[in-house]
Amino acid sequence: MARKAAIIGGGVIGGGWAARFLLNGWDVGVFDPDPQAERKISEVMANARAALPALSDVPMPKEGKLTFHGTIGEAVEGAEYVQESVSERIELKHKVYAQLQQANPGVLIGSSTSGFKASDLQKGSPAPQNIIVAHPFNPVYLLPLSEVSGSPANPPAVVEKTVEIMKAIGMFPLVIRHEIDAFIGNRFLEAVWREALWMLKDGIATTEEIDDAIRMGFGLRWGQMGLFETYRVAGGEAGMRHFMAQFGPALKWPWTKLMDVPEFNDELVDLVANQSDAQSGMYSIRELERIRDRNLVGFLRALKDRNWGAGKVLKEHDERRAAALHADLAKGVDAGNAAPLAMYHGQVLPGWIDYNGHMTESRYLFVCSETCDNFLRMIGAGMDYVAAGHSFYTAETHIRHLDEAKLGDQIRGEMQILSADEKRFRSFVRIMVGDTCVATVEQLCLHVDMKAGKTVPADPQVWAKLEAVAKAHAGLPMPEGAGRAVGQKK
């Protein structure tokens, strides 16, 4: 049975939360009095469906069920968690919490608030311990950070449950040590925002020039190393102490106006808005969101490939879901499941496309390789096995291109074992887009002692798992195209 979350407030942030939960297999009940809420969330969902699966190298779970409700009580019925994302008005939040706790006593409520402390949110509540801050960053369905901030009223078990839920949907829960207005991220952003407004007002730079300074320079460093690690590197071989000695005196120089704020008036609003229109007004908001999402996917995947920064969070989330998936597949094999094993799910990414607009040949082989690698991990022949000195080597490969895969297509690899013994196995991989087989890859893999450089029997435990799959697949019909020679007529 799917877990359920309730989303109260279906704007940009609430819609992003709904997408994050839904695409991670949770059912979601939404309440928002805005008559356009369903349309707005459907548009956010469309963007999320195109972007979030592109970050995963493990099958996404079956999408949860999305329902819209006319009352808060209906939305929260059966929910184990609520994400509140209503307007930043404390009296409105208190009213919402009262209705939530009356309808579902004991439910855990996380707030998307950008500035209110948990102790502010808890005032007047009959169960303050169940209200906590879980502050995300937009787009919620792609960026993993969730700042979890409680008060003395929140017992450790509530904080731990919030952390568990955030991890279950692929977030990075950063628990704030002490209550503080605006938490960590927004305190930092506020400092940058104030300095930017002064540079605009003083005519030093335009909105576009300020954005260029961030995205062409230090923003790229911050995205993968943050602030302090970046400055540690800047200190050279002598490290952070050298950096502090070199640049510490600058703290006393008149570089910043952070202790002063430009007057917020119509003149300042017009200055910012007019320059922003000139910079980005040629795009609609939805176009900008899709551009942003594609850029973030590329950046996050690069970090994921290197197991670094936010990419490490994505990789760990994949590994948790892969372990559960492989355990389920193994149970099916043990029960004599005769179906080919779906060992890879992914999405055709922009970098996978050739000059014809189709998935390039190397990526078909990549999908096959990932399918095979996931299978090897399932039978116990993963990287730990390789580190111990044994591995399966590919001896022969035959690929057939039967149809076309295009940008954005959801693609999966299904493996069938045609034959196996202690020293080798012959596999047949179907690369599928929906119900269409776009390619097949037949392979012969040999089990090798890497130090001796020769074929040897596999470890008994590995062979037992491989043999179980081979026996389960023995009754399947021989796939069409298996054993074909290159160029053979049909």
Per-residue pLDDT tens over the stretch 110-140: 999 998 999 999 999 999 999 999 999 999 9
pLDDT of res. 57: 79
Q: Are residues 341 and 439 in the same domain?
A: yes
Shared-domain flag, residues 21 and 169: yes
Are 13 and 79 found together in one domain? yes
pLDDT over threshold 70, residue 423: yes
Q: Which residues are within 8 A (CB) of 357 and not within 5 positions of it... i.e. 6 or more apart?
A: 406, 407
| Residues 301 and 308: beta-carbon distance below 8 Å | no
Final residue of a structural domain among 144, 175, 206: 175
pLDDT at 327: 78
Domain for residue 198, yes or no? yes
Q: How far apart are CA 270 and CA 207, in angstroms?
A: 12
Domain membership of residue 460 as a residue range: 337-473
pLDDT of 466 above 80: yes
**381 in a structural domain:** yes
Query: Is 446 within a domain?
Result: yes
Per the CB < 8 A criterion, the answer to whether 357 and 407 are in contact is yes
Residue 51 is part of a domain; what is its CATH number?
A: 3.40.50.720
Eight-class DSSP state of 304: H
User: Which letter does DSSP use for residue 209 in this model?
Assistant: H
Determine the average pLDDT of the residues in 281-294: 87
Q: What is the tens place of the pLDDT at every residue in 235-270? A: 888 878 877 787 777 767 777 777 777 788 888 888
CA atoms within 13 A on the CB side of 270: 3
Residue 258 has a CB neighbour count (10 Å cut-off) of 12
Mean pLDDT, rounded, for 2-14: 95
Q: Are 201 and 160 contained in the same domain? A: no
* Residue 202 phi, psi (nearest 5): -85, 0
∠253-182-101 over CA atoms, to 5°?
A: 175
Angle, in degrees to the nearest 10, between helices 285-305 and 37-51: 30
Alpha helices in 52-89 (DSSP H): 72-76
301 lies in a domain?
no
Regarding whether 165 and 259 lie in a shared domain, the answer is no
For residue 233, the model assigns a pLDDT of 82
For the chain, the domain total comes to 3
Q: What percent of the chain has pLDDT over 90?
A: 64
Range with lowest mean pLDDT among 220-229, 242-251, 440-449: 242-251
Q: How many helices and strands (H and E) does the chain possess?
A: 17, 14
**Single-letter residue type at 57:** D
Q: Are residues 136 and 8 in the same domain?
A: yes
How many C-beta neighbours within 10 Å does residue 435 have? 5
CB 297 within 8 A of CB 55: yes
Does 323 reside within a domain? no
Asked if residue 167 and residue 35 are part of one domain, the reply reads: yes
Cβ atoms of 367 and 430 within 8 Å: the answer is no
**140 and 241 inside one domain:** no
pLDDT tens figures, 327-339: 777 777 666 667 8
How much is the pLDDT for 73? 96
How far apart, in Å, are the Cα atoms of 437 and each of 283, 334, 340, 401, 474?
37, 27, 13, 9, 21
User: Is residue 352 domain-resident?
Assistant: yes
Lowest mean pLDDT among 262-271, 406-415, 426-435: 262-271
Q: Are 385 and 377 in contact (CB under 8 A)?
A: no
Do residues 56 and 137 both lie within one domain?
A: yes
Residues 119 and 208 in one domain: no
Q: What is the mean pLDDT of the chain?
A: 91
* Least confident among 232-236, 392-396, 475-479: 232-236
Q: Tell me, yes or no, whether 108 and 232 share the same domain.
A: no
Rounded Cα distance, 23 and 116, in Å: 29
Q: What pLDDT does 313 receive?
A: 93
pTM of the model: 0.79
Residues 49-73, mean pLDDT to the nearest whole number: 90
What is the pLDDT, as a whole number, of residue 336?
Answer: 62
At residue 101 the predicted structure's pLDDT band, cuts being 50, 70 and 90, is very high
Residue range 170-216, pLDDT digits in tens: 999 999 999 999 999 999 899 999 999 999 999 999 999 999 999 98
pLDDT of 337 reads 67
- Cα–Cα distance measured from residue 297 to residue 340, given in angstroms and rounded to the nearest whole number: 30
Which of 250, 282, 314 is the last residue in one of the domains? Answer: 282
User: In this model, does residue 72 exceed pLDDT 90?
Assistant: yes
Indicate the pLDDT class of residue 229, thresholds 50, 70 and 90: confident
Residue 260 lies in a domain: yes
CATH number at residue 404: 3.10.129.10
Same-domain pairing of 231 and 89? no
Query: Is 90 exceeded by the pLDDT of residue 477?
Result: yes
Residues 380-399 pLDDT 10s? 998 889 999 999 999 999 99
Residue 182 lies in a domain: no
Per DSSP, 217 falls in state: I
